[in-house]
A and B are shown apart, each in its own frame.
Chain A
Amino acid sequence: GAGVSQSPRYKVAKRGQDVALRCDPISGHVSLFWYQQALGQGPEFLTYFQNEAQLDKSGLPSDRFFAERPEGSVSTLKIQRTQQEDSAVYLCASSLAGGEGQPQHFGDGTRLSIL
């Protein structure tokens, strides 16, 4: 496909379980971002990759959150020992190049619900 693909679209987990969310960016896009979006809010930055390098992870809310992009394409966001406050939509976005001012292309997100 031509767009950013995220899976699963919906994930329900029990509190304390680990989850893994996948993002497949647009082919050739260097930059990849993960965001968390709560209901009625804008996307909140979590982490940023340029190719395989994680250049910024300042938005990750705790050490339970971990992201990787080992080959510079597909990325996985992992949340360990999930808590109810982790319930949100997790958005992945990619852009063609790194640097300032690049418009981002978003996937449809993964809606995570922690019971």
Chain B
Amino acid sequence: QKEVEQNSGPLSVPEGAIASLNCTYSDRGSQSFFWYRQYSGKSPELIMSIYSNGDKEDGRFTAQLNKASQYVSLLIRDSQPSDSATYLCAVSGGSYIPTFGRGTSLIVHP
């Protein structure tokens, strides 16, 4: 069974700091990796997708993928209170059906 593991948190960081969110996955054949942000009572919203090893930057967000170690991370620079949410990692490979982690709760305090 394909598994995606995330620390449920909460991860608490001060405003302006870098938040680092991690995700590990079990299926070595995984090829597509996604980070979604989910505010309480709202739907998941796609933040980043990454498909190859290395870093991918988009504004304050950087996704990092290491297929050899089977982990993907999300860095949020200059964290803002509005970044407080649950961050879901999703992984798919050889299938159109992604497997989601349980999410990491992030709290950015002023």
**In the complex, how many angstroms separate the beta carbon of B44 from the nearest chain A beta carbon?**
5
CB-CB under 8 A from A33, the residues of chain B are 97
The answer to whether B88 touches A42 (Cβ under 8 A) is: yes
CB-CB under 8 A from A45, the residues of chain B are 97-99
Q: Does A31 contact B (CB under 8 A)?
A: yes
Complexed CA–CA distance, A48 and B96 (Å): 9
**In the complex, how many angstroms separate the beta carbon of B46 from the nearest chain A beta carbon?**
5
Q: Does B12 contact A (CB under 8 A)?
A: no
Complexed CA–CA distance, A103 and B15 (Å): 29
The answer to whether A101 touches B51 (Cβ under 8 A) is: yes
Kindly supply a per-residue 1/0 record for chain A positions 1-23, scoring 1 wherever the CB is within 8 Å of any chain B CB and 0 otherwise. Answer: 00010000000000000000000
CB-CB under 8 A from A109, the residues of chain B are 43
The answer to whether A100 touches B101 (Cβ under 8 A) is: no
**A48-B97 CB under 8 A given contacts A91-B44, A100-B32, A103-B46:** yes
Task: Give the interface SS of chain B, mostly helix, strand, loop or mixed.
Answer: loop
Closest to B89 in A: A42
Kindly supply a per-residue 1/0 record for chain A positions 80-115, scoring 1 wherever the CB is within 8 Å of any chain B CB and 0 otherwise. Answer: 000000000001000000111111111111000000
Q: What's the tally of chain B residues with a CB closer than 8 Å to chain A?
A: 28
CB-CB under 8 A from B8, the residues of chain A are 40
Closest to A92 in B: B43
**In the complex, how many angstroms separate the beta carbon of A55 from the nearest chain B beta carbon?**
8
CB-CB under 8 A from B4, the residues of chain A are 42
The answer to whether B43 touches A104 (Cβ under 8 A) is: no
**In the complex, how many angstroms separate the beta carbon of B69 from the nearest chain A beta carbon?**
21
**In the complex, how many angstroms separate the beta carbon of B104 from the nearest chain A beta carbon?**
10
CB-CB under 8 A from B51, the residues of chain A are 101
Chain A residues 21-40 with CB under 8 Å of chain B are 31, 33, 35, 40
Residues of A within 8 A of B (CB): 4, 31, 33, 35, 40-45, 48, 55-56, 91, 98-109
